[in-house]
Amino acid sequence: MRLPLLFLLAALALSAAPRKKIAVALEGGSALGIAHIGVLEWLEQHRIPVDYIAGTSMGGLVGGLYATGRSPADLRAIVKDAPWDKLLGGSIAFRDLSFRRREDRTAVPNLIELGLKGGVSLPSGLNLGHEIGLLLSRWTLAYPELESFDELPTPFRCVATNLVSGEEEVFGKGVLADALRATMSLPGVFKPANRGGKLYVDGAVLQNLPVDVARQMGADIVIAVHLAKPPVDPKSLNSFAGVIDRSIGIVVSANEMRMMERADIVVTVNLAGFSASDYPKSAELADAGNAATEQKRNILETFALPEAEWAEFQKARAARRRPEPTQISTVKVDAEDPRQARLVADTLAPLTAQPWNPTALERELSRAVGTGRLASLRYSVRGSELLVQAEQRSYAPPFLLPLLEIDGSDIENFRVSGGARLTWMGVGTARAEWRNDIIVGSRYRFASEYWVPLGERSRFFAAGRAFAGDAAFPIYSGRAQVANYRLRDTGFGADLGYQLGRIAELRAGFTTTWHAARRRIGNPILPNVKDHLKVPSLRFRLLDYDDPIVPREGSRVEASFAYVLARGPQAEVQANRFFRVSANASVFAAAAGGTAFDTRSLDFGSFSLGGPLRLPAYATNELLGNQYWLGTAGYLREIRPGLSILGTRIYGAAWAQLGKMYGQPGYPGVAASAAGAMIIRTFVGPVYFGGAWGDRGHGRAFVGVGRFF
């Protein structure tokens, strides 16, 4: 009788013992980390509780979002809908830029920006982190600042590397969005997260699989999720970047192996066939995580809860989830420059009279960053107060945009120039700017403009200008260059203008110019001149497209009217429109025309046609006259989408044009041209090459670097 009684007592003791607490440790791996969603999905489907969760880098992001109470289905939707090209590219969307920053991106179509604050320097990361900061703010909005991340529906920790001390740092309290921003700051790609004067980068540098962190949270059982990367291709080690990446990978892998040895269970997700940039394949990556966890079914199901106990566990987790705000009543902006804080606060003030709308808020924050004065803005809500944290550009202003131009419209006579646009901000007033362009090479140009708004919030502005230039003016007849002139202009002017929001501006001004043209070689097609011109003018410019390098949708319009004193009036308008017809394709149309209002003899104030987008079958300046019209219809297709920090993309374009030049002796009728080109968008600017065929035996190949559309 005594033995059965002992068995009964032992059984009762076991049934009364608390269950073992389970933690999941999630490894970093960029897009590969999306596989963690499938692991969490399988655990929930089989009623296996996750009492604690810890992660690094992408594992930290997935773990942090799961810790806020979201389901794996919610996480699948988040990564599917996230604008990864914007998050990784880092640049503010063109349509969120102020008009003057739109002008910069149009004039200097590359992704390089140097700062001159304390010497010439690049930013500490190619991605300043504004876009990812906004999404992290939104995704963690209900948890602005916590005494402990144990207060989350699922207790959470993430790991970052303190750049100053060189030590691993575990985030277990504070602002959740800040912790996630720190753990996923990939060195050299994302600007290091600055929190409390400390600089943080990706935790993978020291601890990519935080098994020990999960154990220290109080777990009895730690499930480690390892992302098995594809085998290394020896060909990838033939470059400097490939060797550095692999060298770092070896160190990280050694650390991962040590952590896997300390885990109780390891789920290894085989990700052969995937790459670290495969964010668009989020569904397949999550499925791979689910399938890998299924392989551990036998051991994992021993931790499954009965249905009633599982329901209680889920109910308790949901009860800890906090609601998001529904209204804000006040705005507080924390910025290093009080003038910038005031401008941002004034911009956001109207939102206090509206129902809570994070989309509208983020749009206004991006537009504030789009002025170029701030690196990023992030936000949180405490009670009914909106708190905005501004981060200044540590390296600028002033900032410098380098420019490279290669004109190969005449393959036998390449013209190469280089230069930069240098801008100081806050000169005199908070919104004033001093902008300078310097170009040397085949053409020389110096231009300086001081621009100042007529009031802190006014759209009216004044601008003073000075300029000097020297450039070649080749003239062709068919394939042959028949003359080459040098044009020199020196002058100054002043404008009064009005900005129509971020998309357009109207200017009225007066310019005085000392103009000279002298033939260097060839036939005297045009006379040598030396003039002093005084020119009142009216100019309108609209930049309302989605991208300044290769637009996919939107419009651009430039129109001008000038009255050259002692000579007469002149007007010109150019307009184009892009229409997106599918995810990868657009069509575009353009119209241009100009007139001198008379039939005066040709001079260097005449209009010209010829070149890649102005009848490319004809050479530059082959058609000269005092009046013209030009019509364009074309098709543009993205051949190779880019999803990288450098934004590389490949496009194919085809277009047809009809035009007519008036006032050129010996050239009758309408000119026609059909062309095709490849355009490669790179971080140094668009690289293009193509060919064109036209009427009367015209045809040319062309190649170049620099502005295309």
Q: Is residue 246 over pLDDT 50?
A: no
More confident residue, 394 or 64: 64
Average pLDDT, the chain: 86
The mean pLDDT of 229-257, rounded to a whole number, is 55
- The listed range with the strongest mean pLDDT (155-159, 208-212, 234-238) is 155-159
CB proximity list for 439: less than 8 A, separation 6 or greater: 403, 405, 417, 418, 419, 445, 446
Q: For 113-231, where are the E strands, in sequence order?
A: 114-115, 125-127, 156-162, 167-171, 188-190, 193-195, 198-202, 221-228
More confident residue, 81 or 166: 81
Give per-residue pLDDT as tens, 505-549. Answer: 999 999 999 989 888 888 887 788 888 999 999 999 999 999 988
Which residue do the tokens 């100042």 mark? 452
| Distance of alpha carbon 432 from alpha carbon 267, whole angstroms | 57
Could you tell me the end-to-end alpha-carbon distance of the chain, in angstroms, rounded to an integer? 95
The mean pLDDT of 421-427, rounded to a whole number, is 91
Q: Which two tokens stand for residue 290?
A: 């689910």
The string of DSSP letters for 64-121 reads: HHHHTT--HHHHHHHHHHS-HHHHHH-PPPGGGS-HHHHHHHHHS-SS--EE-TTSSB
Give per-residue pLDDT as tens, 110-132. Answer: 878 888 877 776 665 567 778 88
Q: Is residue 646 over pLDDT 60?
A: no
Q: Which two tokens stand for residue 376?
A: 């990023």
- 239 confidence band (pLDDT: 50, 70, 90): very low
User: What's residue 526's pLDDT?
Assistant: 78
User: What's residue 489's pLDDT?
Assistant: 94
| Distance of alpha carbon 67 from alpha carbon 79, whole angstroms | 16
Catalytically active residues, by annotation: 57, 202
Q: What number of CA atoms fall less than 13 Å from residue 130's CA on the CB side?
A: 28
Q: Of the given ranges (31-40, 82-91, 643-652), which has the lowest mean pLDDT? A: 643-652
pTM to 2 decimals?
A: 0.83
User: Parallel, antiparallel, or unpaired: how do β-strands 22-26 and 52-56 relate?
Assistant: parallel
Give per-residue pLDDT as tens, 39-64. Answer: 999 999 999 999 999 999 999 999 99
Q: What number of CA atoms fall less than 13 Å from residue 533's CA on the CB side?
A: 23
Q: Of the given ranges (47-56, 274-283, 295-304, 431-440), which has the lowest mean pLDDT? A: 274-283
More confident residue, 669 or 656: 656
Q: Is residue 1 over pLDDT 60?
A: no
Q: For 383-522, where are the E strands, in sequence order?
A: 385-392, 399-407, 415-425, 433-441, 443-453, 460-477, 480-500, 504-522
| Distance of alpha carbon 681 from alpha carbon 111, whole angstroms | 10
Q: If DSSP states are collapsed to H, E and C, what string results for 530-572? A: EEEEEEEEEEEEEEEECCCCCCCCEEEEEEEEEEECCCEEEEE
- The listed range with the strongest mean pLDDT (381-390, 468-477, 624-633, 677-686) is 624-633
- 11 confidence band (pLDDT: 50, 70, 90): very low
User: What's residue 492's pLDDT?
Assistant: 97
User: What's residue 294's pLDDT?
Assistant: 95
User: What's residue 108's pLDDT?
Assistant: 92
Q: Is residue 8 over pLDDT 50?
A: no
User: What's residue 92's pLDDT?
Assistant: 83
CB proximity list for 309: less than 8 A, separation 6 or greater: none
User: What's residue 667's pLDDT?
Assistant: 67
| Distance of alpha carbon 553 from alpha carbon 583, whole angstroms | 11
Q: Of the given ranges (94-108, 406-420, 441-455), which has the lowest mean pLDDT? A: 406-420
Percent of the chain with pLDDT over 90: 51
Q: Of the given ranges (119-133, 508-522, 591-605, 668-682), which has the lowest mean pLDDT? A: 119-133
Residue 581 identity: V
How many Cβ atoms are within 10 Å of 266's Cβ, its own excluded? 17
| Distance of alpha carbon 526 from alpha carbon 520, whole angstroms | 12
The mean pLDDT of 73-102, rounded to a whole number, is 87
Q: Is residue 2 over pLDDT 70?
A: no
User: What's residue 14's pLDDT?
Assistant: 42
CB 572 within 8 A of CB 621: no
Q: Which two tokens stand for residue 490?
A: 């020196």
User: What's residue 354's pLDDT?
Assistant: 84
Q: Is residue 223 over pLDDT 90?
A: yes
The mean pLDDT of 653-670, rounded to a whole number, is 85
The mean pLDDT of 439-462, rounded to a whole number, is 93
More confident residue, 703 or 122: 703
User: What's residue 9's pLDDT?
Assistant: 43
User: What's residue 583's pLDDT?
Assistant: 87
User: What's residue 641's pLDDT?
Assistant: 61
User: What's residue 147's pLDDT?
Assistant: 92
The mean pLDDT of 552-571, rounded to a whole number, is 93
Q: Of the given ranges (133-137, 518-522, 574-578, 614-618), which has the lowest mean pLDDT? A: 518-522
User: What's residue 539's pLDDT?
Assistant: 98
Q: Is residue 445 over pLDDT 90?
A: yes
